[in-house]
Structure 1
Amino acid sequence: MTRHCLVLGGARSGKTAFAERLALHAGARPAYLATADMLDSEMRDRVASHQASRGARFTTVEEPLDLSRAILRTGASHDVILVDCLTLWITNLLMANEDVSTAVGELGATLMEFRQAKVILVSNEVGLGIVPDNAMARTFRDLAGSAHQRLAEICEDVYFVAAGLPLTMKGEAPAPIS
């Protein structure tokens, strides 16, 4: 059975590196489904740096909005799909005036039915800090928290990464990987 996975952590916590190791260990044909929308030069540089660090180990697929369809399409030719990251995806949905709750519900339904490839979702845990001082930031935090709860219910494995160290929150502890 294909086990979907949610990897949470703070910014620069090591969650993406951990998820990449999981993906490389889990399959022979991994895809990297990137949700970043490169709106400025800093983001373009950041994306280029991430792509360079991955090298040719992953096929990169870019999709800032329609994550469910991208997973279905990518799963036809890959055995592992690493989605990085959900919080950027939620931001993209908000900026496009899309209904985030509906999109998260669609993603959840897709994951419950989709077993052609392992899906590893990466997201920033934003609920551990102070209450944001503006309505938009509070809305974002609330939507991200709700999405994480819903997806953690669906995923068989959930990890929290801090200082590069994964904590198993649900499911199987990861096999030793380097």
Structure 2
Amino acid sequence: MSKIILVTGGARSGKSGFAESLCKARNNSTAYIATSVAFDDEMKERVRKHQESRPQEWQTYEIYKDIYTIIDEISQKHSTVILDCITLLVNNLMFVDGIDIDNATEQEINELEEYIKDQVRKMIEEVKKTDLYFVMVTNEIGLGVVPSYKLGRVYCDFVGRINQMLGQLSDEVYFTVCGIPTKIKG
């Protein structure tokens, strides 16, 4: 039976480090699902730092779309998985079809959100078919100011609702502040 854990918090709150520590405590046969796309030098540096922080034995899967298609394969090789992060997964999926959010209709935005929710739902459904210890990292972006531009508001809405869905579907949820994790579910 799988165990699904969600780790959330603000930027630089220690959420990735805490999630990695949960996995390190279990074993060194961890699969690392990296959802970022290194599109500039700053992002490449962030990716490099994340790579250096995790054990060399961990196998990395760089994917953000159709993650559900590799869950069974991963479960054949690993018992522990970390997915870092949901927030970038949502961001990347928002632009997969080149939709112009600023000029999109409400229907187009609703369809895009349903597509993203479906991607996440399918992933969780596949995880629940396994015995994986599955740790997901996400940003709690709803604690700040609501963006003044449409793209930012739509993104915050999408991430907020995805986080709520994952909070409900997870066995445990942790909120990290100042490097200190607090269990809020499970």
TM-score after normalising by structure 1? 0.89
Q: What are the superposed Cα offsets for residues 141-177 of structure 1, whole Å, 9 maximum, x if unpaired?
A: 1111111111111110100001010111101xxxxxx
Structure showing greater radius of gyration is: 2
Provide the residue aligned with 1:131 in structure 2: 146
- Which of the numbers 118, 143, 153 marks the counterpart of 2:158? 143
Provide the residue aligned with 2:118 in structure 1: 102
Q: What are the superposed Cα offsets for residues 67-101 of structure 1, whole Å, 9 maximum, x if unpaired?
A: 22233322220110100000000000001136222
1:79-94 maps to which residues of 2 (within 5 A)?
Answer: 79-94=79-94
Q: Please give the root-mean-square deviation of Cα atoms over the aligned residues, in Å.
A: 1.5
| Identical columns (%) | 35
Q: Give the Å deviation of 1:108.
A: 3.3
Residue 85 of structure 2 contacts residue 138 of structure 2 at CA under 8 Å; is this kept in 1? yes
Q: Give the Å deviation of 1:116.
A: 2.8
Q: What are the superposed Cα offsets for residues 49-80 of structure 1, whole Å, 9 maximum, x if unpaired?
A: 21122241422111122222233322220110
Provide the residue aligned with 1:175 in structure 2: none
Residue 63 of structure 1 contacts residue 70 of structure 1 at CA under 8 Å; is this kept in 2? no
Unaligned runs of at least 5 residues, structure 1: 172-178
Provide the residue aligned with 2:182 in structure 1: 167
Structure 2 counterpart of 1:148, one-letter code: N
Q: Secondary structure at the match of 1:4?
A: strand
In structure 2, what is the Cα distance between the partners aligned to 1:4 and 1:105? Answer: 13
In structure 2, what is the Cα distance between the partners aligned to 1:105 and 1:117? Answer: 16
In structure 1, what is the Cα distance between the partners aligned to 2:46 and 2:117? Answer: 28
Q: Secondary structure at the match of 1:148?
A: helix
Q: Give the Å deviation of 1:133.
A: 0.7
1:1-178 maps to which residues of 2 (within 5 A)?
Answer: 1-97=1-97, 99-111=115-127, 113-171=128-186
In structure 2, what is the Cα distance between the partners aligned to 1:103 and 1:33? Answer: 15
In structure 1, what is the Cα distance between the partners aligned to 2:120 and 2:173? Answer: 17
Q: Give the Å deviation of 1:19.
A: 0.2
How many residue pairs get aligned? The number is 170
TM-score after normalising by structure 2? 0.85
Runs of 4+ in 1 over 3 A off after TM superposition: none
Q: Give the Å deviation of 1:48.
A: 1.4
